[in-house]
Amino acid sequence: MILDNYRGTWEDEDTSELRKLTREFIANEITPHQERYAEQHRVDRDVWRKAGQAGLLCISVPEEYGGGGGDFRHEAIVLHEQGLAFDDAWGYSVHSSICAHYILEYGTEEQKKAWLPKLASGEYVAAIAMTEPGTGSDLQSIRTKAVRDGDEWVINGSKTFITNGTHCDLVIIVARTSDEPGAKGISLIVAEVGGEDVVGDSGTWATGFERGRVLDKMGMRGQDTRELFFTDMRVPVGNVLGGEAGEDKGFYQLMNQLPQERLAIAVGGAGVAEAAVRAGISYAKDREAFGVPIVKFQNTKFVLAEASTEALAVRTFVDHAIAEHTAGKLSTEKASAAKYWATDMQNTIVDKVLQVFGGYGFMNEYPIARTLVRSDEQKIYGGTNEIMKELIGRGL
């Protein structure tokens, strides 16, 4: 197959070893339990601790803060392997590729030393609370409010669609710290909220913090997604990311980190697309109709030829974006293009390959069926693909 032996220009012996380690971890800790994770709407809390012990968390964070000392290439390996395994349960990217980097890039030295080692070890699980019931991609319209009272912020508001909402010990809250309109007055406040190892177990949560409903999603049912509520929740003033609130600092931080988030989604999309093609080829070689494997039929061959070519095109585009990001050259427009196109093609390829499976493609026991449902969500989170096109259009 044309995808065999493909290797990105940025991959080396170090990333190859990491790929082997990640594949083994997912095969042992994730894949055998996907059905149970879907039923309980989260991975086991112990998955995070084991990932930390294996050195897979915060892999692109410097060693001085407990991380792996790598860069985004190493994050991309883990994300791609998740896609290849059809894993839609483990909220790795939010914890490691996103939240850890907000702290690394904008946190004070004290904040980095306090939080990053705990994220790297799996002692803490991280979430970022951006989306509100009435606010998605339009982050300038957030309503969650933080009012200073002496040495504390008093936070009131609600968030929804929060990945790692059940397990999170640390939440980065996007809140308005002044009455200035739009982007002004937005800050990122980090709250240590206390963990919840088991749904329904109150743990030692911060006062005024409440975990709301576990959200009943159409796909990605094994991923931990929940509502969060803040009612007069008190957080130390020093927990503002960067040490102090001011003007549009929080909005600036969000805008500068979103390209990495979107590229992370694109990497996963490339992995899923390739996994779908490989699953389709394997099935077509085993399944017989009229006494011959269906891969012998011209239509089946043409469908898989198209899908494998498209998956290779996605992989090469995403690899180009990874190389640019590693070199510090990835633009907002190109990150948006990678996110929208990779996830659009993921949907196209999965839908095309599912037809090869016939009736079995409609059965949830086959990963391709579950993947078709979850693929639509890739086009929505991290900013809808329509918003991605708007961002690309602004740079024309």
CATH number for 216? 2.40.110.10
CATH number for 108? 1.10.540.10
Q: Give the residue from 263, 277, 278, 270 showing the smallest Cα distance to 345.
A: 270
**pTM of this structure:** 0.93
Domain boundary among 195, 225, 248: 248
Domain boundary among 248, 277, 302: 248
Residue 7, in any domain of the structure: no
Q: Is 210 a catalytic residue?
A: no
Q: Are residues 259 and 389 in the same domain?
A: yes
77, 68 Cβ separation under 8 angstroms = no
Among candidate residues 132, 227, 261, 377, the one labeled active-site is 261
Residue 306, in any domain of the structure: yes
pLDDT per residue rounded down to tens, the chain (396 residues): 899 989 999 999 999 999 999 999 999 999 999 999 999 999 999 999 999 999 999 999 999 999 999 999 999 999 999 999 999 999 999 999 999 999 999 999 999 999 999 999 999 999 999 999 977 677 778 899 999 999 999 999 999 999 999 999 999 999 999 888 778 889 999 999 986 544 444 445 678 999 999 999 988 999 999 999 999 999 999 999 988 776 568 888 998 999 999 999 999 999 999 999 999 999 999 999 999 999 999 999 999 999 999 999 999 999 999 999 999 999 999 999 999 999 999 999 999 999 999 999 999 889 999 999 889 889 998 899 999 999 999 999
Q: Are residues 61 and 104 in the same domain?
A: yes
- Residue range of the domain that includes 347: 252-395
Q: Are residues 257 and 391 in the same domain?
A: yes
Residue 92, in any domain of the structure: yes
CATH number for 313? 1.20.140.10
323, 15 Cβ separation under 8 angstroms = no
CA-based torsion, 239, 241, 243, 248: positive or negative: negative
Domain boundary among 98, 121, 144: 121
Q: Are residues 243 and 160 in the same domain?
A: yes
Q: Give the residue from 19, 167, 24 showing the smallest Cα distance to 89.
A: 167
Number of domains in the chain: 3
HSE-up of residue 102 (Cα within 13 Å, Cβ side): 34
Helix (H) or strand (E) holding 175: strand 170-176
Q: Are residues 154 and 210 in the same domain?
A: yes
Q: Are residues 113 and 230 in the same domain?
A: no
